[in-house]
C-alpha cells in the first residue's frame, strides 16, 4: 500500500501540474507563476533545486522534455505562440513533438517548435491532450467528448462521459483512460469502445495516470487520490486540501501529487522510502484537524448520527466515509482504510458562514449567492452563485467568463469567495463580508 514519502514545500499557491524527469528530479508548476525543480537528497527527502520565474501569469500545465547538452539548466529556448486563451494541457509525443490544449477550443501540434497542426472541432475548452504517436493525438474537452486526430485531421468523436472530460492517460496494450467532472474514470480501446467505468470519486476527477502494474491513480475535487486495480478502488489517500489538481507517476511507480494547499506530496510503496514517523504523524494530524463543509458529505442531522461505537464496525469498502456524533456538538468524518482495517479521522464536519438554507438562483439551489458590485452603471450589480463543494477558482472563472470581465479579476474574486465561505470556527471571528471590488 502507498504511504507518504515526502512533502515538498515552497509554492505559495495551488500546484496545478507535476511531472518527473527521473526518480530523483521532480518538477511542479503552480498558480504562483513559478515552476520548481526538486532534487532527491535521500531515500525519503527532496530539496528545492531551482525556481523558474519566466511566466507572467498562472501556470496550469507542465510536461518534460529531456535536457540537451547545449542547454542543461532549463533555460527558456522557445516561446510557442498560437493559442488565444489559457493553455491548460501539454504532452510530448514519442518523437518529441509538443501537443498543447487551450480554453480557445483548439489543440496545437508543434514540430521542431513550429506549429504543424491546429486541431479544431471541439465546442469548448480542450482540457486534456495525449500523444499516442507523433501524428496520432487524443483530445479531451469541456464539450464532454474525446476526439481522435491523425495527421491533423479529426477521424473520430468518442462519447460517453456526461460532463467535462479533464484528463487522459495511455494504457499500454489496451488503449487509454479518461477522467471527468462526472466523477468517473473510463477505460477505452483505441477504437473508441468504452471497456470499463470506474466509480468511487464523489466529485470532479481532475487527473489520471497509469502505473507500470496497469493500475490507475486519480485525483479530484473530493480531497482524495485513489488507486484502482481491476476496476475497483483499492486505496484512498486523503489529502489536506479541497482540490487535488494533479497526479503523476514516477519511473519507479512512486506518485507525485499537487493540490490547492500549495504542496507537492510524494507517495511510495517501497518501505525504504517511507516518510519519517514524525512526518507521517504531522500529515495525519493535519488531516484530522480539517474542517469539512457538511454539503460535501450529504445532509447532516446530528441527532440521527451514530456515536463513536460505529467505529467498531468494519467498513464496507476502501475509502468509505462515515459521520459520527462525537458529542459536545461535534460531528467527525472517518474514512475506512482496508489495508490497516481501521477507521481514520479525516476531519470535523462543519457548516459554512451564514445561513444553512439554500438560495435559489436561476432555478438552481446554491449555498451562497453573493451580490457583486462591479461599478459603472445601473447593471453593475451581478450575482455570484457558489456551492461549498466547488473550487473557488473554478467558480470565479465561470463568473469572469459569463460576465466578460477581465482575467485580472480572477484572483480577487477567488479570494473573496474563500474569505466569505470559510468553515465555521470555534470562538469569535472578526471576518466580515467584503465585496471583492468595493471592499
Task: State pLDDT tens for residues 195-209.
Answer: 999 999 988 899 999
Domain assignment of residue 430, yes or no? no
Check whether 399 has a pLDDT greater than 50: yes
User: Domain check: are 73 and 162 in the same one?
Assistant: yes
User: Domain check: are 253 and 128 in the same one?
Assistant: yes
User: Domain check: are 105 and 218 in the same one?
Assistant: yes
User: Domain check: are 126 and 190 in the same one?
Assistant: yes
Q: How far apart are CA 439 and CA 429, in angstroms?
A: 18
User: Domain check: are 165 and 235 in the same one?
Assistant: yes
Residue range(s) defining the domain that contains residue 411: 359-420
- The reported pLDDT for the residue numbered 429 is 33
User: Domain check: are 127 and 239 in the same one?
Assistant: yes
User: Domain check: are 99 and 248 in the same one?
Assistant: yes
User: Domain check: are 119 and 209 in the same one?
Assistant: yes
The pLDDT of 206-218, averaged and rounded, is: 98
Quickly state the pLDDT bin for 71 (edges 50, 70, 90): low
Which residue, 236, 251, 276, sits at the end of a domain? 276
User: Domain check: are 62 and 171 in the same one?
Assistant: yes
Pairing of strands 146-150, 153-158: antiparallel
- The reported pLDDT for the residue numbered 290 is 77
Q: Flag the least confident range among 100-104, 240-244, 381-385, 417-421.
A: 417-421
Domain assignment of residue 434, yes or no? no
Mean pLDDT of all residues belonging to the chain: 86
What total number of domains does the chain contain? 3
Contact 251, 22 (CB under 8 A): yes
- The reported pLDDT for the residue numbered 405 is 75
CA 136 to chain centre: 26
More confident call, 192 vs 429: 192
Check whether 221 has a pLDDT greater than 70: yes
Check whether 55 has a pLDDT greater than 50: yes
Q: How far apart are CA 74 and CA 201, in angstroms?
A: 36
Which residue, 350, 374, 389, sits at the end of a domain? 350
Check whether 433 has a pLDDT greater than 70: no
- The reported pLDDT for the residue numbered 301 is 65
- The reported pLDDT for the residue numbered 439 is 40
Domain assignment of residue 108, yes or no? yes
Q: Flag the least confident range among 107-116, 253-262, 385-394.
A: 385-394
Quickly state the pLDDT bin for 424 (edges 50, 70, 90): very low
Q: Max alpha carbon distance in the chain (Å)? A: 68
Domain assignment of residue 431, yes or no? no
User: Domain check: are 249 and 166 in the same one?
Assistant: yes
Domain assignment of residue 425, yes or no? no
Domain with 369 in it: what CATH number? 3.10.20.870
Highest mean pLDDT: which range of 234-238, 324-328, 413-417, 423-427: 234-238
- The reported pLDDT for the residue numbered 295 is 55
Q: Flag the least confident range among 77-86, 159-168, 405-414, 428-437.
A: 428-437
User: Domain check: are 9 and 155 in the same one?
Assistant: yes
Q: How far apart are CA 266 and CA 151, in angstroms?
A: 37
User: Domain check: are 299 and 231 in the same one?
Assistant: no
Contact 323, 349 (CB under 8 A): yes
Which residue, 350, 374, 396, sits at the end of a domain? 350
Domain assignment of residue 439, yes or no? no
Domain assignment of residue 217, yes or no? yes
Domain assignment of residue 180, yes or no? yes
Compute how many other C-beta atoms are within 10 angstroms of the C-beta atom of residue 336: 21
Domain with 52 in it: what CATH number? 2.130.10.10
Contact 122, 84 (CB under 8 A): no
Amino acid at each position: 500500500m502507498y504511504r507518504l514519502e515526502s512533502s515538498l514545500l515552497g509554492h505559495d499557491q495551488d500546484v496545478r501540474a507535476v511531472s518527473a524527469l527521473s526518480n530523483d528530479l521532480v518538477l511542479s508548476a503552480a498558480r504562483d507563476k513559478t515552476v520548481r525543480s526538486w532534487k532527491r537528497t535521500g531515500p525519503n527527502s527532496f530539496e528545492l533545486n531551482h525556481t523558474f520565474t519566466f511566466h507572467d501569469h498562472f501556470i496550469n500545465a507542465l510536461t518534460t522534455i529531456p535536457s540537451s547538452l547545449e542547454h542543461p539548466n532549463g533555460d527558456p529556448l522557445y516561446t510557442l505562440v498560437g493559442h488565444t486563451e489559457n493553455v491548460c494541457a501539454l504532452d510530448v509525443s514519442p518523437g518529441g513533438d509538443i501537443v498543447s490544449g487551450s480554453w480557445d477550443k483548439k489543440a496545437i501540434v508543434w514540430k521542431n517548435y513550429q506549429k504543424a497542426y491546429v486541431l479544431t472541432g471541439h465546442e469548448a475548452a480542450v482540457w486534456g491532450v495525449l500523444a499516442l504517436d507523433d501524428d496520432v493525438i487524443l483530445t479531451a474537452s469541456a464539450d464532454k467528448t474525446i476526439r481522435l486526430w491523425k495527421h491533423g485531421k479529426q477521424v473520430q468523436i468518442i462519447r460517453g462521459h456526461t460532463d467535462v472530460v479533464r484528463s487522459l492517460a495511455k494504457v499500454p496494450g489496451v488503449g487509454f483512460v479518461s477522467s471527468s467532472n462526472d466523477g468517473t474514470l473510463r477505460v477505452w480501446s483505441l477504437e473508441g469502445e468504452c471497456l470499463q467505468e470506474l466509480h468511487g470519486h464523489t466529485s470532479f476527477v481532475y487527473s489520471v495516470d497509469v502505473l507500470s502494474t496497469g493500475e490507475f491513480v486519480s485525483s479530484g475535487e473530493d480531497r482524495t487520490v485513489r488507486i484502482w486495480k481491476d476496476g475497483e478502488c483499492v486505496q484512498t489517500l486523503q489529502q489536506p486540501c479541497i482540490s487535488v489538481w494533479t497526479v503523476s507517476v514516477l519511473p519507479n511507480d512512486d506518485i507525485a501529487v499537487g493540490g490547492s494547499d500549495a504542496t507537492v506530496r510524494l507517495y511510495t510503496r517501497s518501505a525504504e522510502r517511507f516518510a519519517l514517523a514524525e512526518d507521517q504523524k504531522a500529515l495525519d494530524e493535519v488531516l484530522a484537524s480539517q474542517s469539512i463543509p457538511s454539503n460535501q458529505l450529504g445532509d447532516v442531522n446530528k441527532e440521527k448520527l451514530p456515536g463513536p461505537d460505529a467505529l467498531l464496525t468494519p467498513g464496507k469498502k476502501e475509502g468509505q466515509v462515515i459521520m459520527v456524533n462525537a458529542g459536545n456538538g461535534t460531528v467527525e468524518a472517518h474514512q475506512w482504510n482496508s489495508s490497516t482495517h481501521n477507521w481514520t479521522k479525516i476531519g470535523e464536519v462543519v457548516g459554512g458562514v451564514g445561513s444553512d438554507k439554500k438560495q435559489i438562483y436561476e432555478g438552481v439551489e446554491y449555498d451562497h449567492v453573493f451580490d457583486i458590485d462591479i461599478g459603472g452603471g445601473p447593471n453593475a450589480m451581478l450575482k455570484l452563485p457558489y456551492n461549498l463543494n466547488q473550487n473557488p477558482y473554478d467558480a470565479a472563472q465561470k463568473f469572469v467568463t459569463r460576465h466578460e470581465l477581465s482575467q485580472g479579476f480572477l484572483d480577487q474574486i477567488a479570494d473573496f469567495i474563500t474569505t466569505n465561505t470559510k468553515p465555521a470556527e470555534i470562538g469569535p471571528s472578526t471576518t466580515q463580508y467584503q465585496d471583492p471590488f468595493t471592499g
